[in-house]
């Protein structure tokens, strides 16, 4: 796939460094706190934002502009509704409109799109590509690459409680306290995670990162929501993991730099 002229290509050696990317959804006021941690450890983030629309604690345009000085801003539609709920005409308005809105704030090309709640359709993928985005992120987890389609970019791990179900999480039954482990168990076994990886989010994150480096995977992609990091008191976890990651042989990149730095979808 031809690399767009509007994006910067990062020098990368697959034999020596792991591409390390992060992304953060929904545009929360605490995204600035995540950015501060990323800056502290020399890491990069792609922040998928949308207009406040009266949402409580939504990040404001001034802060989006400030974030764009050091990190990437990606589109996340205008209303944060599942793409499968729209007809083609209104979906195109959501996708194109979100790109135009972001570019009017940052004065930079908006190259990345994120499907709300990970809901994807073939029609949405086509419209994202036609709108001029170079890639789109999903919520598929426990992946390191290769990526067969840059418009279906997967992730490695969400910043979210593990292995226990968080309190007040209504859509996991109270008789399923290990829900977060249950949904990852098969993949963790497939990846031959050590026993310590099953004990905490921090242990899982570090184990996955070391495994991706040891097996020479193309990338590692951590993501999440600032509101959940705050709700579940995971700021120390995130900082500890960033500090750990920075000591490894990684190259920090944004989501679009990941796509344009290496032909990850044909490895």
Q: What confidence tens digit (pLDDT) does each residue in 156-207 have? A: 999 999 999 887 655 556 678 899 999 999 999 999 999 999 999 999 999 9
Q: Can you give the pLDDT at residue 1?
A: 40
- Which two structure tokens, joined as six digits, stand for 40? 């502290």
Q: Can you give the pLDDT at residue 96?
A: 98
d(CA 44, CA 24): 11
Q: Can you give the pLDDT at residue 169?
A: 54
Strands 45-49 and 219-224: unpaired
Helix or strand run (H / E) with residue 160: none
* Segment 219-248 mean pLDDT: 98
pLDDT at 213 over 70: yes
Q: Can you give the pLDDT at residue 176?
A: 82
* Segment 31-44 mean pLDDT: 98
User: First-to-last CA distance in the chain?
Assistant: 12
pLDDT at 10 over 70: no
The neighbour count for residue 107, using CB atoms within 10 Å, is 8
pLDDT band at 236 (very low <50, low <70, confident <90, very high): very high
């Amino acid at each position: 796939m031809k690399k767009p002229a509007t994006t910067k290509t990062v020098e990368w050696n697959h034999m020596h460094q792991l591409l390390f990317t992060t992304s953060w959804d929904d545009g929360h006021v605490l995204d600035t706190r995540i950015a501060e941690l990323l800056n502290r450890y020399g890491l990069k983030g792609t922040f998928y934002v949308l207009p406040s629309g009266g949402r409580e604690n939504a990040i404001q345009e001034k802060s989006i502009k400030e974030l764009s000085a050091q990190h990437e801003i990606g589109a996340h539609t205008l209303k944060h509704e599942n793409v499968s709920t729209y007809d083609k005409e209104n979906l195109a308005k959501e996708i194109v409109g979100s790109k135009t809105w972001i570019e009017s704030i940052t004065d930079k090309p908006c190259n990345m799109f994120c499907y709300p709640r990970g809901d994807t359709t073939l029609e949405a993928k086509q419209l994202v590509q036609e709108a001029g985005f170079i890639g789109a992120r999903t919520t598929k987890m426990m992946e390191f690459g290769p990526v067969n389609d840059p418009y279906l970019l997967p992730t490695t791990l969400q910043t979210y409680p593990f292995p226990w179900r968080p309190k007040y999480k209504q859509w996991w039954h109270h008789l399923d306290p290990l829900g977060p482990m249950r949904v990852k168990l098969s993949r963790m076994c497939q990846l031959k995670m050590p026993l310590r990886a099953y004990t905490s989010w921090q242990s899982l994150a570090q184990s996955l990162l070391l495994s991706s480096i040891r097996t020479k995977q193309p990338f590692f992609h951590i993501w999440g929501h600032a509101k959940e990091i705050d709700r579940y008191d995971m700021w120390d976890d995130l900082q500890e993991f960033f500090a750990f990651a920075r000591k490894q042989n990684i190259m920090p990149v944004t989501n679009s730099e990941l796509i344009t730095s290496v032909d990850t979808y044909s490895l």
